[in-house]
Every structure is written in C-alpha cells, then in structure tokens.
Structure 1
Amino acid sequence: MPTPPIAEMTDRARQIFAMVVEGYLESGQPVGSKTLAGNSALDLSPASIRSVLAELEGLGLLAAPHTSAGRMPTESGLRLFVDGMMRMAEPTREERAAIENRLSAPGPIEQALEQTSAILSDLSGAAGMVMVPTREQRLAQFNLVNLGQGRALAILVGEDGSVENRVIETGGAIPPSAMEQASNYITARLAGRTLAEALSAMRQEISAGRSQLDKVSEALVEQGLAVWSKDAAQRPVLIIRGQANLLDDAALGDIERVRLLLDDLENKQSVAELLENAREAGSTRIFIGSENRLFALSGSSVIASPYRDREGRVVGVLGVIGPTRLNYARVVPMVDLTARSLGKLIG
C-alpha cells in the first residue's frame, strides 16, 4: 500500500502519529493508547485513540509487535515522519565544542579521521563511520635518517602538514651522502605530486639518465616512495568505531538483529559502497531499514553526509549506523556539522 501524504491525514491522526514515533524513538519501545491518553495535549478517550491507532496501522504507518502491545512506526512510517514531520534539533554548544575541539588537535589526517568516527559514535550512541578521502596525499618534504643495521627511517611530510614515518630495509650500510642526496632529490624535484606521480616521474628520470643520482641513492629513492605507494593501496577504505554501542539494553531483546548488523559491518567494502550513494548528495542522506539491501535483514538505519575539501570537492563520506530508532532529529544535524568541520581540515 502506498504511503499516504501527510496532507491527507487528519490533524488528530497526524498528532497521534507524531507522538507514537517520537515516543518510540526516545524509548525504543512500542507506545500504547494508555500512555497517549495520559498526555495532556490529547483530549481524547483511550477508545478514540485506539481507533486512530488502528487507522494508522491500516495505512501501513504503524505496527503492533504483539497483540496486546502498543504501536511502533513501520519503515514507511519512519520515512514519512523523517521527510515531512521531523523538526531538527541543532547541536548544542557542548556538542559543537566536542566536535571542533577533537578535530582541531594537530596530527596527520588519518588521526582526524579516527577522531571523527569516534566522535560520531560517542555523540550518537551508535556506530560512527568515515570513508578515507579518495584524494592522495601530496608531498611537501622527504627525509631519510640512517638507523644502522641495514635500516633507514623515511619521513614524509604532506602538503597539509601531516607527518608519517616508515622504516625501510637498505640491505647494508649506506653512506650519509647517499641519504642526503636521496632526500634532497625527492624534496626538490617531486614536491607537490602524489605518491604515484612521484614514483612514476622518478623512474622516468632514472631510466632516461637524468636523475644525477648514484645507484645507491636511486635505490633509496625508489624504496622510500614505493613503501608509501604500497601502503596507500592497502589502507582500509572505511573506519568504523563504536560497534559496542549497538549492544545497548534495548538491543538485547533483539540480539539476532544486532548480530546480523555486526556481521554486515565486517564487510567494510560493502558498507563503503553504500556510503558512496551519499557522495553525490548535496546534503545528509538517510537510509531506513530495507531501503538499502545491505542492512535490510538487520533493519538498521544509516545517516550519511559527504565531506568536502577547501575547494568544495567531495573527498569522502561520513555517517552513523544504528537501529531504526535512531534519534534522527538530533543525529542528522550532528552528522552535517561533523562533515563541515572535517572538511575544514582537508587540504
């Protein structure tokens, strides 16, 4: 049965429907007619309320999990509420401060992504997800430090100020002059390029005899760049934090659904593909239950928003996943704010 537009519902039906949905999202429990009758905003008898509830159930907007239980919104009911009736609750001053302060800490972008996922989890009470930016890091400076015993420390500084270290095997003692020559070569010739671009350009110069490097320095340059290229290709496309939040008291009564959700989250590539659907959206998107095939069995909801770099280009997606009883009015603006805050850090 098609979901009726809000305009076709009576004022009484809209009021009761909104109260049931809001009560369910707050408690995670079905809302009964006695509870509604006790609300001073309704001047109706329990019998009249039950009649409206039955009407809403007939429209496919509410459902009763048990014969004697109250009502809870269906996925169609939640979609109707989210799209047409929900009033957004802007993040509080404390929530804004928590997001901005934790993202303002100095460090590499990977640290900020980890923090973002943890923030979303902490503030939403669900699991937080962040897709790693698709744009590759660009070099600003490169240094090699001899560690002895056939090893060297390769230090890469990105254009965004991030610093990463890798230990590389040199295969034997390396003269200090070779270390210095390799470091200066990469910084002077290859700065401003991505790792893949730098490695390709370096190989072309060496093969054409234009590098002016000796054989030892050439090997160091290739090792130093190749270790990052390999690492970048193997990085996870998705960071998920806060899965334990999904095991709250309300979830214990539906442990099979939670097990299915946790199994789905293990397949990070599939979750990333779902989030890709929000990449082209101009704002935050909400996927409820079976609206996405990945989480259809677990009946979970995803709130996702693209985040952009300083030039306005979408470089990733972040979001929250949890049960369909997420507090959408609170979480949607919070996800949007986090996306804007993370975007300010992306070069």
Structure 2
Amino acid sequence: MLYTNITRIKHFFILGFPGLSPEYYGPVSALLFVLFLAIAVGNIFILVFVKCERSLHKPTYLIFCHLALTDLAFGTVTLPKIISKYWFDDSIISFYGCFVQMYFVHFIGAAHSFILMVMALDRFIAVCAPLRYTALFTNSTVSVLCGISWLMPISWMVGVVLDALTLPFCNSNVIVQCYCDHIAITVLGCENVREVQIVAFGLAMISLLVPVGFIIFSYFVIIVAVIRMSSSEGRIKTLSTCTPQLLITCLYYMPRCFVYLANNVGFTFSVPVRIVVVMLYSILPAVVNPIIYCFKTKDIKENLKKKFLIWKVNINTKLDKI
C-alpha cells in the first residue's frame, strides 16, 4: 500500500532509486553489498589494528578510531535495508523503525562532524604549539572530547525525532530516498511541516557550521604557520602530517556544501540525481577513509609494511622447510 487516508500510518515504503529497471536490481544490490562489506572490513580493520599496535596509541589514531566507528555505524544503519529492497524485494519499513533509522542517521552524522572538529584541533595544536602538544593533547583529552562529540547530539536528536512524531501523516507513505531521514519523512506530513523542518534545520546547521567554522579557521592558521617556516623541508613535512586529515574533512564536507549551495542559488537536481548524489557523499567517504588512514598516514603505513615483511619472511621460511 502506497497511499493512505488515516492520520497514523503503520509503515513506510522505501522508494530507493526511482526509475531503476528491475533488471538492474541484482547488480545494484550486489554493488551496495560490496560497499557495505568494504565499509565493515575497512573500518573494523582500522579499529582492531590501532587497538593491537601499542605504538599507535596516540591522540591522532584514537580520533581515527572514533571516525571509523561513525563510518561503520552509518553504513550499518543505512545500507542493509536498501540492499534488502533490491535483493529480496523488501521495501517496507515500520513506522517507528523509520524514525529510529532517522534518529541514528542524523545522530551519527552530527557526531562525525564534531569528531572532525576534534581532529582539526589536534593538527592545530601539533603545528602551532608543537612543544606543548604532548602535554595539551593527551589520549585522555581526546577520549573526553570525542566522548562529548558523541554525547552532545543525543539529546537534541531525540527532540528532533519527537517533534517529527507529532506530525499527522495522511497522504503518501513513500520515502523518496534510500533511507529514512528527516526531510524525507517530514515532507509526508499534512500540517505544521514547515515549523518542524525549521527547528531541525537550525540544529543541523549547528552540527555542521560550528565544526566547519572551526576547521576552516584552524587550517587557515596552520597554513599561515607553515608559510612562515624558514625550512622548505619543514613545510613539506608539516603539510604531509595534515594531508590525511584534510582529505577526510574534504570528503565529508565538500559534497554537502556543494549540494546546499547549489540549492540556495536555484540550481536543483532531479529526484533520481539527488538521491544518487546523497548516497555517494553519504557512503563513499566511509569506504575511502580506511584507505586514507593506511596509505596517507606514516605510522600506520610503516606498521603495515613491518607486518607484511614479517608475514612474507614467515611464508618463505615455511616454504624452505618443505
């Protein structure tokens, strides 16, 4: 059932990618499943590897672990249902199940944004106050700041969900998206939709603009500090330590900022294109981030090389004994 006249519907219908031909359901579900596996394997690997390597028990890598946890959680919350839709033709999600998914989508996104701000603070102190870095930015400090980043969105996201639950739903129950988010749900309301969306938009801007503002400021100061360095070797070394953080931050914020700016200047996407763009900037960073951690971070890369060499030596030794 796609439409209903009652004020409290019992379930929602996940539309997914509109206009997709049934002959592509199999390949799309397989692609989404591969992406889900990549997110799970990559981010669990980072968590386990940092946990097991005592030399990586440093503030920077603890922040990477928190980011990996948010990426893993987001993929787990969003992908199984859309995979199920195209793999098993299961498009139905319960009324309250949709709101639960909406809560975690926005909660995890806000937590990720604040953790990126903690990561920017890490580089800011490392570059601008290197002699005091170990005293100012300890593992305990990181744990507290990242803990706050997780805890802050909890309360206001509960308020956002409860506010959306007060809406009467009396028209379509089709979620024009691959997962339940605030806009996709609230547009289905019959009245007071604008008021609910304005409150949610204000809170979303806090979780987006506050971290973005601090990140832009911190990296501006870092760039100025690097330019003032007399040694070109020192400038390159300092910038290389910031490269992973910059790549991770740009992957998360730039597509979102582009979409918001495009909408504000009057450039609108068609519904299918918008859904694909949202899925790309939601899922791809979670896939790519573990690769950045491994190949753009010196300590992790060196530890991986050592592990690989030890494994290679052990294999060769076993072969020689045969």
Decide: shared fold, TM above 0.5.
no
TM-score range, shorter chain: under 0.3
TM, length-normalised to structure 2: 0.26
Q: Whose RCO is larger (CA < 8 A, sep 6+)? A: 2
The answer to which structure has the higher helix fraction is: 2
Structure number with higher strand proportion: 1
